[in-house]
Structures are given as structure tokens and as C-alpha cells.
Structure 1
Amino acid sequence: MRAVQVTEFGGPEVLKNVELPEPVPAEGQVLIEVDHAGVNYADTHQAENTYLAPSRLPLVPGGEVVGRTPDGRRVVALLNGGGGYAERAVADAGMFVPVPDGIDDLTALSFIVQGATAWLLLRKSAHLEAGESVVVHAAAGGVGSIAVQLAKAWGAGRVIATASSEEKRSLALELGADVTVDSRAEDMTAALREANGGKRVDVVLDMTGGRVTDQSVAALAPFGRLAFYGMASREQPKPVQPGSLLRHSTAIAGMWLPHALSLPGNVFGTAMAELFDLALAGRVRAIAGGEYGLSQAREAHEALRSRATVGKLVLDPRR
């Protein structure tokens, strides 16, 4: 079968198009004929071995696919350890969910990682309450574009979206943001407070790192929460001392999606079901960021790393 493989760690240049044997599902796994594979920023970290979970070579990247099982079920799946950039993939039992009629491939792939991440950030990490102000960094990206919509759907008082271009900021406004901020602002603390009518902010969703994280923490109101879920800048924020959190009555939470899969009560399944319902009701929509052929995986990674993309990127294994 056609696939993309990494045999040495590095940037987009290490993604190679190869022919590999078809994967054989073990007990408790299912084979999926891949219609589309999702492309995530985490995949770029996986290829250079800078992700939270160490990568092992040789590696077929890709943590999510939508397609059909041998018995004809249409499912969207998370993959344990990669394997999505291929014509066929295997998923563990409990790691895939049926895709309802009326939900297209783009939406299913947008929800299985980015949508679920946005849901968990707002529900579990930040515990959003109606009327609170919410800052969504990278608001035109995969997680951010859904988080803006969810925050509005769940009664946020003011949604402040940051993005690096006028086009991206316009998209955030279209999705429901009340105001936007240029993500390149020299003083993000001041910019966020100005966007919130001079007041400090209640919730920040951040995947940037570096000074943006540092200055966002400084913009939090008493009992404000920052939910940290990535480091796209590849720059570490400054360490935060517990005494500083006590002094300002603020909180910082980290969130990594795999941990949600082990939560009791099928929290992940609840998130997916609610996201599908919101999509079918027309209250949340996925944003197409571009479709690439499997042979163009390198270009997809280059686009992600350039920070020029919006929404969700997908690969079509048939080309």
C-alpha cells in the first residue's frame, strides 16, 4: 500500500513516499480503509521527535483517519502511535466512533482531535462559566476556530481572538469572536486588556508558548485560568511560581488529549457526541484548511510550520 514514512528525524524533508505491507490488525483492533487522514501540528513534532510521547523509527505519521471498516461502518479513529498517512490503518477498540449521516470527512477529522481538544479545554481545563471573557490564541487554526464557536455557543460574555493576519482575524469574527487582536502585538498583556474593555480576562486558551504565554498569564483576572495545550513557537514560557498564582488567585492547567481517553464516564465519547449534535444543528462548523494528496504530505507540514494555514488540513490517500 502507499504510505508516508519517516526513517530519520527532522523537518518536512524527512517525509518519504513509500510502498509498505498492509497493516494486519491484532486482536482488539480493526482495519480501516482510509478515505482521509488528518494533519495536525503535533505530527510535525512527531516527525522531529519533539512530541510529548517519544517517536520510534521507522514511523508512519498521522494520528487520525476517517474511513470504513471491513463490515462497512464509517468511522473516525484515533491511532495509537501513528499510521494515518497511508491507504489503510489499524485502530484499537474504543479508539474510534461511528460518523453520523450528515457529517462529512472534514468535520469528522476536525472533531476527533481539534474539536475534542477545544471541548476539553473549555469544559475540563478552564471550566468556562457563562458571561466570562475568553481569549483564544491562534483563533483561525484547527482548535482555535472550533473553540471560538464553542465559547459563544456556551455563553461566553466576550470572545477575544488572536491571529497573525487580517484574513485570519476576519475569519475569527465570522465564527463569532467579539473582537480580535494581532498575535504579533508587542505587549500582549496590554492588548488583551484593551480588547476586554480595560479589564483583565477570565480564560485563555494557549498553544503558542514563549512570551505570548508569559504575557497572557499576566493578563488574567483574579480566579482567571490559562489552559495550555501546545507550544507552536517552540519557545518555553518562563517558569511560574506557585506563590505568584496565590498572589493573583490565578490558575494554569495543561491538557494533552490522550489523557481524556482514560477518564471515567466516557468523557471523550460525550465530547464527540455533543460536537456532532452542534454541527448537525448548524452551531459549529469545521473550517477547511486545504486538502493534499498523500504524495504532498511534505507540503502540508511546510504549510503548518509556516503558520500560514487556517482550519483543518487533510490528506487524500488516493492521490
Structure 2
Amino acid sequence: MKIIQIDEFGDPAVLKVREIPHPEIRADDEVLVRIHASGVNFFEVLMRRNCYAVTPPLPACFGVEVAGVIEAAGLGAALPVGSRVAVPLFAHGRDGGYADYIVVREAACIPLPDAVPFDAGVALQVQGLTALHAVRQTSPKGKSVLVTAAGGGVGTLLIQLAKQSGARRIVALAGSQEKLLTALSLGADVAISHRDDDWLAQCSATVRGDGFDVVYDFVGGDFGASLVPLLMPMGTLLFGALGRFALDTGTINMLLEGGRTVKGLALLPLLASGRLQQDLAELFELAAGGQIAPVIGERFTLDQAAEAHQLIEARASVGKIVLEPSAFSQG
């Protein structure tokens, strides 16, 4: 079978295709999953460059979220062969999803409804759960909200969930015309390019200078700091750009003086509640019923993993980027 592996850190060219033996079931509670779709994430780009908070041991095979079909099962497994499943490897401290097959414990598998394509089942894992917990942690109901990185995997889902939750006004920030149009099509009331020189003034004008009740920031750095003046007094900045928090003392004083709040959103601690299966099932049900529609920007074969990384690294991707073995079509 094929896997994508890195033996050294560096540019996308370090992602190499390897042929290895098929993994084998070694315990009664294990299943063999043939992967139809595997998610590609920005943090994997950072890990490939050794610029992430965690340095993976080499050689490394990325991929923390997959969806596919059970092809073989241990004697103690309840899910039958042929079951469509999503496997959130990140919730179990696993990776290795850039591959044709993976062996996991059956408990790691979550049934995927027939109405939810494999790529959507992947998009609703890291990004879907992040968006779901964002609206839970800071409710947009009846509020004016600003969504950064609105054309990305989290942003496209967050706009839809905020709309469903009753947000009064949703303003989307993104960096290309395609992303702005995508945000509007998903329910944003206004879409603004952060590449415009006067984007801050444009944002402020959408709420008549009163400020936003909630800013969902998944960019961070100096850009994230520039969003603080857009918050109304007592407003909330929900920060989800881990490792890129860069508020200086003056900006923090501005927050405090206005009674504003900063909340950090980290997905893994939220999964400790034991609600992972229920949360993903809820997202799958919403997708199956057409209430949310994950945006799949591009699909690549395993052999094209380097191209997928290049697209994400260039900030040119819209929605979710997935890898899928070329032998399969969506279904």
C-alpha cells in the first residue's frame, strides 16, 4: 500500500510516496479501514517545516482525520465489514492518515451516514468540531460577529453555524474574491477583503462604528491584534490561532479598559468531555439533512500530497483540502 512520508523537514518536496506492506489486525477490537479521504491541515504544513509547537519524530506520516470503509475486522468488532466510518485519529493521539489503509481500534470509528460523502466526513472532523465548539463557547445568537479566515475550512462552517444559531449580522474577512463570494453564498451578510487598505474602516462601517459583539479569530499574529479595536465594550475575542497569539501590552490594556474578553479555543481539551462521538454525529446529521454543507476546495491523490501542501501554504485554498486514493470517486 501507499503512504506519504517525510524523512526530513523542509519544503513540500520532502513529502515522498512510499510502498509498505498492508497493516494487519492484531487484536480482536481492531478494524482495517480502506481510506477514501484524508484531511490536509495547515498545522501539518507547519510540522513539515518543523515550525509547529510539536516536532514530530522522523520518519513521519501526517494525517489525523480520515473517512473510509471497514474492509476487515477483529473477532470482537461489532461494526460489520463494509461499514462507512469516520476516524478522528487526532482524538486518539494518532496520525498516519496520508495512506491507503489504516488499522485502528473499532472504538475510534464513528458511523458515517450514506448521505455524507467521505470528503465531507473528513471536513467535519478537525474543522467542523472547531466551528461547532466556537459557537458553543461564544454564542453568536442575536449578535454582530466577525469571522476571519472566512474562506477556510473552519470559517466556511462557522459562517453556516453562526447563521443557524441566529447571528444578527455576520461579516466575513478573507483574502480573495473567490473566498469572499463563497462566504456570501454561505450566509455572510458582508464580505470584506483584508487586502484592502481600508479594511478596518469597512468592517467598522458595517456595525456603524459600534463594534462587534464577537470576533472569531483564526489568523492571530499582528493581524489578530488589529481586530481588537473592532470589538464593542464587553465584546468577546474568541482566539483559535494556536501558537500565534501576539497581543502587546497596549492592546491588552485596550481590552481591559473596555471590559472586553479574550477566550482561547483549543480543540483537544474540549474533546476530554467524552462528547466526541455525539458532536460528530450531530455534525453528520446536519450535513445529511442539508443544514450545513462543507466546502471542499480541492481533491488530490496521495501522489499529489506535495501539491496539496503547496496550495495551503500559499493561502490559496478555499474550504477543506483532501487527499483521496485515485481509485475511488466520492460517494
TM-score scaled by structure 2?
0.87
Aligned partner of 2:215 in structure 1 is 204
Q: 2:167 and 2:101 mapped to 1: Cα distance?
A: 41
Q: 1:260 and 1:37 mapped to 2: Cα distance?
A: 22
Do residues 33 (structure 1) and 34 (structure 2) align? yes
Aligned partner of 1:311 in structure 2 is 319
Decide which of 283, 290, 300 is 2:308's aligned counterpart. Answer: 300
* 1:139 Cα offset (Å): 0.9
> 1:236–1:99: structure 2 CA closer, same or farther, 3 Å change rule?
same
CA contact (8 A) 1:161 1:169 kept: yes
Do residues 286 (structure 1) and 294 (structure 2) align? yes
CA contact (8 A) 2:84 2:114 kept: no
Query: What amino acid maps onto 1:237 in structure 2?
Result: A
* 1:46 Cα offset (Å): 2.1
Aligned partner of 1:45 in structure 2 is 46
Do residues 57 (structure 1) and 65 (structure 2) align? no
The SS at the match of 1:218 is helix
Deviation by residue 1:203-224 (Cα, 9 ceiling, x = unmatched): 1121212222001122111222
Q: Write the mapping of 1:1-319 to structure 2, written as runs, cut at 5 A.
A: 1-24=1-24, 27=27, 29-69=30-70, 70=72, 71-79=81-89, 80-92=93-105, 94-124=107-137, 127-186=138-197, 189-230=200-241, 237-239=246-248, 244-264=254-274, 266=275, 268-318=276-326
Query: What amino acid maps onto 1:296 in structure 2?
Result: Q
Deviation by residue 1:185-219 (Cα, 9 ceiling, x = unmatched): 44654332122232201111212122220011221
The SS at the match of 2:124 is helix
The SS at the match of 2:300 is strand
CA contact (8 A) 1:188 1:212 kept: no
| Structure 1 gap segments, 5+ residues each | none
Larger radius of gyration: 2
Q: 1:245 and 1:230 mapped to 2: Cα distance?
A: 18
> 1:123–1:210: structure 2 CA closer, same or farther, 3 Å change rule?
same
* 1:174 Cα offset (Å): 0.7
> 1:25–1:117: structure 2 CA closer, same or farther, 3 Å change rule?
farther
> 1:81–1:185: structure 2 CA closer, same or farther, 3 Å change rule?
farther
Q: 1:299 and 1:21 mapped to 2: Cα distance?
A: 25
CA contact (8 A) 2:2 2:99 kept: yes
Query: What amino acid maps onto 2:322 in structure 1?
Result: V
* 1:104 Cα offset (Å): 0.8
TM-score scaled by structure 1?
0.90
CA-based RMSD:
2.1
CA contact (8 A) 2:228 2:255 kept: no
* 1:291 Cα offset (Å): 0.8
Q: 2:197 and 2:278 mapped to 1: Cα distance?
A: 39
Q: 1:287 and 1:129 mapped to 2: Cα distance?
A: 21
Which of 199-208 and 179-188 deviates more? 179-188
Report the number of matched residues.
Answer: 313
CA contact (8 A) 1:190 1:219 kept: no
* 1:243 Cα offset (Å): 5.0
Q: 1:229 and 1:21 mapped to 2: Cα distance?
A: 38
Q: 1:186 and 1:93 mapped to 2: Cα distance?
A: 52
Query: What amino acid maps onto 2:39 in structure 1?
Result: G
* 1:68 Cα offset (Å): 1.5
